[in-house]
């Protein structure tokens, strides 16, 4: 599986605390090696694919062929609001 990120994703990423950004980068490297690793909790949620960054942060993407296009990263509470709107 491949990965790419939108400008909106990177804008959200830059808003994260530095420590969360470091963890997000580590989790992304793990995802590239093993998307099914239990710590990632990578799963389909409605039309999106969700990945755990920490207990408090998530990333969302959409599948485009064999590529996940990450379009959002942020707090778990905002994640809950996003998926409930759909």
CATH numbers and ranges of domains, the chain = 2-85 (3.30.2310.20)
For the residues of 7-45, what is the DSSP string, one character each? HHHHHHHHHS-HHHHHHHHHHHHHHHH-TT-GGG--EEE
Residue 85 has pLDDT above 80, yes or no: no
pTM equals: 0.93
Cα 27 to Cα 39: distance, rounded to the nearest angstrom = 9
19-67: pLDDT as tens digits: 999 999 999 999 999 999 999 999 999 999 999 999 999 999 999 999 9
């Amino acid at each position: 599986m491949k990965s790419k990120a939108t400008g909106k994703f990177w804008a959200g990423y830059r808003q994260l605390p530095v420590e969360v950004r470091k963890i997000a980068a580590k989790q992304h490297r793990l995802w590239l090696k093993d998307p099914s690793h239990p710590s990632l909790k990578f799963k389909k949620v409605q039309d999106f694919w969700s990945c755990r960054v920490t207990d408090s942060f998530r990333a969302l993407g959409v599948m485009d062929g064999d590529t996940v296009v990450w379009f959002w990263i942020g707090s778990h509470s905002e994640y809950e609001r996003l998926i409930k709107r759909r």
